Chain A
């Protein structure tokens, strides 16, 4: 299967600061990346869908000005949590789907990154 990495794996920050999370597809071209958030004992909730080179599509209730998503290349998407507050503390997970580097194999399956645990003090 394809490999997706996330960085950092965990981060602790002060209230009011911004945090950037990177999601990389290591061995395939991620034409689409998805960003999820998971609170303890709850399901993964899709925050936004981003297609390479275009603006992200946000789910209802997700503030696009607070959660900035950039998908500038076929292997990298970033999520920036701006002016983070304690209620933003959560497990943020990205996933990616796309094609192999040669464009031969299509990955309709979503491959998940290992997640980033954000704690805002």
Chain B
């Protein structure tokens, strides 16, 4: 079983739609979780950290469910510029190593 699993998509949504991505992880000892965004042929960029209490940053909301070992990302009022691959990432238990999911591709259409 992969350490981090994501639906690769693609998710094709119209502008203004709300879209949600889920991610499951296998290591219950994982402590830190993140969502990264990666544009085509570019490096990943940190979108937001994910806390147990949930956190919101503008149109983006991240949630963590430790009991079920999944993480979610909700994007409201999606924009064309949101089109990218969203990577679910967790920090491994050794020296700050990051473990990346395969990514979920989002395409926002006009």
Residues of A at the B interface (CB closer than 8 Å) are 32, 34, 36, 41-46, 49, 91, 93, 95, 97, 108-110, 112-115, 117
Contacts and interface: CB of A to CB of B under 8 A. Distances in A.
Contacts of A93: 43-44
Given A42-B102, A43-B101, A112 B45 contact: yes
A43 B100 contact: yes
B98 interface: yes
A93 B43 CA distance: 7
Given A41-B8, A43-B87, A43-B101, A97 B96 contact: yes
A49 B42 contact: no
Nearest to B3: A43
A4 B76 CA distance: 31
Interface of B: 4, 8, 41-46, 87, 95-103
B8 A110 contact: no
Contact of B97 (A42, A46, A108): A46
Nearest to B34: A109
Contact of A32 (B8, B96, B99): B96
A32 B91 CA distance: 15
B5 to A, nearest CB: 10
B43 A113 contact: yes
A43 B96 contact: no
